[in-house]
Amino acid sequence: MIVAWGRKSQEDPPAAVARAAVPARDKLVAAAWDELGLQWVVASRTRVAVVAQDGEVRRSAAWLEVDGGTWDPDSDTLRVTWVEGGDPTRWTFTGAGAHAFTDAFRDRVEASVVLMREVDLGPGRTTRVAIRKDLATRDLVDQVVPGQRVQPGDEELNEQVAVARATLRDQSGLPPLGA
């Protein structure tokens, strides 16, 4: 695979980076040099990893841990949000390889989504419920991702989320909660 970004041009990430980023029995899908963090961002079939040039893994996550991403073509920046919440991560790529990585990123995130439903009761009252697949084990898990301004004590929203969660679990073949 040819990988070329900005001032960097090489066929693949360094061997130490690929070994550190790609688990055994997995496959490298795409890699990109992050100009902002001076690090490699590597997409394998089952994980996304951020690895320093010397092979030190700075972050490694299953695709189901990625909430989503937004590509800004003006700044060549991919803004990534995580299911766990917290501040978004930003990676800045340049060159033709950026498109291969962002395509792989989108494909892998979408591959991990089995079912999704958004519970929307108005501004500040939105929560996404999803059944996601761990691409390494094929296990299904349910996820509840509250919107930014959701209040934990919103009983009506919590009830609707519980119904959506139970419905999606049933549709995906997962056992009912508490079973």
Per-residue pLDDT at 7:
37
State how beta strands 89-92 and 28-34 pair.
Answer: unpaired
Predicted confidence at residue 96, as pLDDT, reads 60
DSSP bridge pairs for 117: 129
Is residue 138 in some structural domain? yes
Structural domain count of the chain:
2
* Mean pLDDT within 94-116: 90
Query: Is 177 among the domain residues?
Result: no
Q: Which helix (H) or strand (E) element contains residue 49? A: strand 47-51
Range of the domain at 140: 113-172
pTM over 0.75: yes
* pLDDT at residue 12, rounded to an integer: 73
Distance CA 161, CA 174 (A): 16
pLDDT bracket for residue 95 (50, 70, 90) = low
Q: Do residue 49 and residue 132 come from a single domain?
A: no
pLDDT above 50: residue 6? no
Question: pLDDT for 132-147, tens place per residue?
Answer: 999 999 999 999 999 9
